[in-house]
Amino acid sequence: MRLFRKRQDVRRGLNRRRRRRGMTLIEIMVVMVILGLIAGMVGIAVVNAADKARVDRTKSDIHAIQGALDLYKARHGRYPDTGTGLKALVDEGILNKPPKDGWDNDFQYLFEGGKAVVKSYGADGQPGGDGNNADLSNVDSDSK
C-alpha cells in the first residue's frame, strides 16, 4: 500500500510540474505582440530600401543612357532630336530596347540648347514632386 501511495504522489508531482510548464494566454499574447512589432519594423525598413534601390537604379540608368547618347553623338556628330528621342539609340543598335526607369515608366528625352536631357518623373510619373516622386535627370546630376 505504501508503494502505491508513493507512485500516486510522484504522479501528482509530475502533473503539477507539467501544468506549471505551460504558457498562459497572456504570455502567448505578449509574444505575439512583440513579434508583430518586430515584423512591422522590418517591413518598414524593406519598403524604404526598395524605394532607395529604385532611385539608385534610375540614376544609374540615366548615366548609362548619357553614355549611349555620347556614343551616338560620336557616330553622327550630333545628339538625336527630340522627335526621334531615345528610339534613335535602339535603331542604331546602341541599346537593345527603349529603357524604362525604376518604376517601369519611359524615360523622357529632350534636346534643348545643344544639350541632351534625359529625365525620369519618379514614382508618380508626373513632372515635379518630392521624395520618391521627385524628377531625376542627367542635368541635375551634372550640377551637384
CA dihedral 28, 31, 37, 43 (to 10 degrees): -90
Fold of 2-143: Glycoprotein, Type 4 Pilin (3.30.700)
CB-count burial class (<10 Å; 0-12, 13-18, 19+) for 92: middle
Q: What is the pTM of this model?
A: 0.68
Q: What is the pLDDT along the chain (144 residues), one digit of tens a residue?
A: 555 566 666 666 666 655 566 778 899 999 999 999 999 999 888 888 888 999 999 999 999 999 999 999 999 999 999 998 999 999 999 999 999 999 999 999 999 888 999 999 988 888 888 888 889 998 854 433
